[in-house]
Amino acid sequence: MEIQRFANIFRQFNLAHALAKDVEIGDYHFRRGQVLNIEFCAWFKDPEVFENPGVFDPNRFLDENGQFRKCDELIPFGIGRRVCLGESLARTELFLILANLANQYK
């Protein structure tokens, strides 16, 4: 999971969203209907979302018992209606590839 966050191997996929109403974000003003493209790279490196985002830390996704914990902030496959349909296949393939690499380099 940390590899997906840190390296963002799915960086070609971004989350485009047409605004339903006028929005103001900081000093920026966006009109209803404008399309915003949310960059996952920026999201995954935001210190308000992930503590110490520049540090590779696989433990950030483990609970106190060493088990994987769900992380709603990790969205490399998108969210909502636009979620990648191949997410489960991609996760399985990533697991197999990484497990095979780890097995080869004991």
Residue 8 pLDDT > 90:
no
Binding residues: 84
Residue 106 pLDDT > 70:
no
**Domain extent for 100:** 2-104
d(CA 25, CA 103): 47
Task: Report the range of poorest mean pLDDT among 13-17, 74-78, 84-88, 95-99.
Answer: 13-17
Beta-bridge partners for 28: 25
Of the two residues 46 and 16, the one the predictor is more confident about is 46
Binding residues for heme: 84
d(CA 68, CA 23): 36
Enter the pTM of the model.
Answer: 0.60
The residue among 82, 87, 81, 89 whose CA lies nearest residue 14 is: 82
The answer to whether 9 touches 3, Cβ cutoff 8 Å, is yes
For the chain, how many structural domains are there in total?
1
- Which pLDDT score is estimated for 31? 95
